[in-house]
Structure 1
Amino acid sequence: MDVIIHSSYLPHDDPDAALAFYRDTLGFEVRGDVGYQGMRWITVGPAGQPHTSIVLHPPAADPGITDDERRTITEMMAKGTYAGINLATKDLDGTFERLQAGDADVVQEPTDQPYGVRDCAFRDPAGNLIRIQQLP
Structure 2
Amino acid sequence: MSEDTVETSEMETPPAPRMLVMKVAVAVMGVLLVVGFGLVAVTIIKRASSPQTASGPVGPGGQFGVSDIQVDKDDVVRSVNLNEDRMAIHVAGARGEDIIIVNVKTGKELGRFRLRALTGLAEATKP
Shorter-chain TM-score above 0.5? no
From the two aligned structures, give the one with the greater strand fraction: 1
Larger relative contact order, structure 1 or 2 (CA cutoff 8 Å, min sep 6): 1
What band does the TM-score fall into relative to the shorter chain?
A: under 0.3
> If the length of structure 2 is used for normalisation, what is the TM-score?
0.24
> If the length of structure 1 is used for normalisation, what is the TM-score?
0.23
